[in-house]
Amino acid sequence: MSGEDRTHQMPAPVARATRRARDTAAETDELRAVRRAIGLGLVIWPAFFLLDVFMCGVVHPETKIERFAIYRSLGEAGIFLAWWLARGTSLRVVLAANAAMCVGAAVLVSVMALSLGGLASPYVHGISVIVLVESAAIASHWRRSVLVVLPTALAYPAVMAVAAPFDPNLYASLARARDLWAFASHYVFVLASAFIATAVSHAVWRAKRELREARRLHRYRLDAPVGKGGMNEVWLAWDETLKRRLALKILRSAEPDAVTVSRFEQEAQATSQLTSPHTIRIHDFGASDDGVYFIAMEYLPGMDLRELARRHGPLAPARAVHFAIQACRSLAEAHERGIVHRDIKPANLFVTRIDDDEDGLKVLDFGIARVRQPAASATLSHPGLTVGTPAYMAPETLVGSSADERSDIYSMGATLYDLLTGTPPFPAPTMQAVFVAHVSEAPEPPSLRRGEPLPPRLEALVLRCLEKQPSQRYTSVRALTEALEGCLDEPGWTVDDARAWWEAAPAQPVRSPAQ
C-alpha cells in the first residue's frame, strides 16, 4: 500500500493537513526555482538586444533598430512585473506570472521575427531559447510544463494568423509552398524544443520526487522537512512499522558532543514521562546505524504562539489566558515529576487542534529541562551554565542560580506579557541590556505597552509572575492556574470563539514544531 493510500485512511482534516505538509518542501523548491527563472529572464532578455543590433545592422539593414529597442523594453517591463508579482506570494500566482512572462516574450519574439524575414525568419528560434531556459530552470510535472510550453510554442503561428490579414506580403507567403516549407523547417525546431523541454523538466521533477521518497531513517520514511531550529531539524515522517504519521526531530550535527547527545536523549526521556494532553507526545528515541540521533514525536499541524502573534498582533486577554492555562497544566505535571522546563516562551507553545478545541495548546522542547534526579543520575544542566532564551529568563537564572519551578512561572509571566502586548517585557537592543533589565528594572505595566486597558486582575497576575524575588511570585504553577481561571471580568475564551476566529482568519500554512 502506498503512502498516499495510507494517508487516506486518516480522518479527512488530518489527512489534508499531512498531505499539505508533505508537499511543503516540493512547493518551496518550486517557488524558488520559478523565482530564479524569472530573475534569469530579467538578465537574458535585454542581453539579446545585441543580436537585434546585428540583425538590423547587417542582415536586414532596412529594419529600424528603434522598433526592436521598444520591443525589448516592453518585454523587460513585463518580466519585471512578473518578478514583482512573484515576491512573497502564493505558488499559484508565481506560476501564473511565470507563464505570462514566457508567453509574452514569445509573442514579442514572433513580432520581431515577422520584421526580420517574415514567415521563414530564423528569429523564431528565440522561442526555442525561451522554452529550453524554462525547462532548465524549473523542474515540474509534464502537465504543468505543457501549460507554459505549449502556449509559448504556439505564439508564432498565432501572431501570424492575427497579422496576415493586415500584411499583404505575409498573406501572400502563406499561399506559397516554398515559403511554407521554409517556415516548417524552422518551426519544427521550436516544436522539438518544446517537447524536449517538457520531457526534461518532467524527468528532473520525477527524479527529485523519487529522491525525497527514498529517504529513510531507521524505520521512518522522511517525507518532507517542516522546520529547522538550533541544532535540530524536523521532518514529516511515516512510521513503516506502526503505520502512522509523525514528526521526526533529528540532531543535525555530524559529530555531536556528549553534552549535546545527553540533552537530546534526556529531552526524550523527560517528555516521555509526561501524559498531559498539553505536552507533546514522544513515541521513540534512537540513533541510526550511521549515528544520526532522532526523536519521534506526534505530528502537530498548526503554528506556535510566536508566529500567531507575529501574523495577527497581540491576543485578546481571554484568548491569552486560555493559552496560558493550558501551558500551566502541562508545566504542573512536569513540576510534580521534578522537571523544570527552563525555556518557556511563545515559540515553545504550539497551537493545534485538541479534540474539539481549535485553540488547543502543546508545550514543546524540554531539551534544556532540569530534571531533579539522584546524584548518580545525569542531568541536562551544568552548574553555572546559563541556558534558555534571555528575553524570557528569570533574573536568578541570569546570575547563575539554579532554575526551579518559580523560574518557569517567571518565564510564563514574560510569555503572557508578550502575548498581550506584542513584545517581551524588556525589548532591549542588546543581550547584555536584556540581562540587566531582567535583574534590576521593573517592567512597564502591560496595559501601557498595549495602549489600552487590561482586566486589572490579569495585569496584576502578570506583574506578580515577573517579580524579581522568586518568593514573591506564585508558589506553584497550580496556584498560578487558579489565579488565571479567576482573573477575567468577562467570559473566558470558548471552543466556539476559537472556531469562529480560525474561520475568519486568513488561510494559514500548515506547520509543525521545529525546535
Which of 379, 396, 374 has its CA nearest to residue 470? Answer: 396
DSSP string, 295-349: EEE----EEEHHHHHHHH-SPPHHHHHHHHHHHHHHHHHHHHTTEE----SGGGE
Phi-psi region of 186 (alpha: psi -120 to 50; beta: other; left: phi over 0): alpha
Q: Output the CA torsion sign for 13, 14, 17, 18.
A: negative
Catalytic residue among 223, 284, 304, 343: 343
User: Quick check: is 343 catalytic?
Assistant: yes
Q: What distance in Å separates the CA atoms of residue 147 and residue 50, rounded to the nearest whole number?
A: 30
Q: What distance in Å separates the CA atoms of residue 262 and residue 278, rounded to the nearest whole number?
A: 25
Q: Which residues, other chains included, contact 205 with Cβ-Cβ below 8 Å and sequence gap of 6+?
A: 139, 140, 141
Q: What distance in Å separates the CA atoms of residue 418 and residue 411, rounded to the nearest whole number?
A: 10
Q: What distance in Å separates the CA atoms of residue 376 and residue 422, rounded to the nearest whole number?
A: 43
Asked if residue 278 lies in contact with residue 327, where contact means CB atoms within 8 angstroms, the answer is yes
Q: What would the 3-class secondary structure string for 95-106 be?
A: HHHHHHHHHHHH
Q: What would the 3-class secondary structure string for 457-502 be?
A: HHHHHHHHHCCCCHHHCCCCHHHHHHHHHCCCCCCCCCHHHHHHHH
Supply the residues annotated as catalytic. Answer: 343
